[in-house]
Amino acid sequence: MADAKQFAEEVRRVAADTPYMVADETADGFTVHIDVVDAQWWTLMHRKSLKKAFTHLVTVDPTNGTYTVTDRLVTVEWQAGADVAGGVPRPVLRASAGGAQGTVRTISFRREYAFDDQGQYGKVVDYAFDSGEGNRLIDMVGERLGLEKKLNTTAKVGLGFAVLAIGSLALGGIILGILALTGNFP
């Protein structure tokens, strides 16, 4: 069975000429994220004011031929400059960050028309993002290598809570139904 090193090498090969890169390799895994160091992709992210970043954390267990992918979404916003709210300009420096982890799916797009750097009116922002794209790349390689994908820990915990909640609601419904049938429902 393939180990983390082989898996990372194959993902790196398949990700060539895409915005994705393999990083942070360890003995049991690696991460896949958009290569913001590459000027081609940094320009897209910076000029288009993208505020979300996805990282896919891959963990491999070669002894049983499985792997997991944990998606990590980080949202960052910042503002520096003058705020003129209330008619009085004042210097402002604000930052906020948020995130999500587990199995995260988001699709977004943005199109804007304005004057570009050469003074021509036209489409200046046009992009689409699907967070599942990185997962599909990883899963394609995992399948080629004969590895089986398993749920990540965060997804297992979420699924456990969902089953517990549904079970509790079903039990409550059964109890209410029995009370109503026996005439003991207030």
Q: What is the pLDDT of residues 40-82, one digit of tens each?
A: 544 555 555 556 777 899 999 989 999 999 998 877 666 667 7
Question: Which neighbouring-strand residues pair with 181?
Answer: none
Q: What is the pLDDT of residues 69-125, one digit of tens each?
A: 999 887 766 666 777 777 777 777 666 667 777 788 777 777 878 887 788 888 877
Residue entry with tokens 């960052």: 76
Contact 149, 18 (CB under 8 A): no
Read off the pTM: 0.67
Cα atoms found within 13 Å of the Cα of residue 6, Cβ hemisphere only = 14
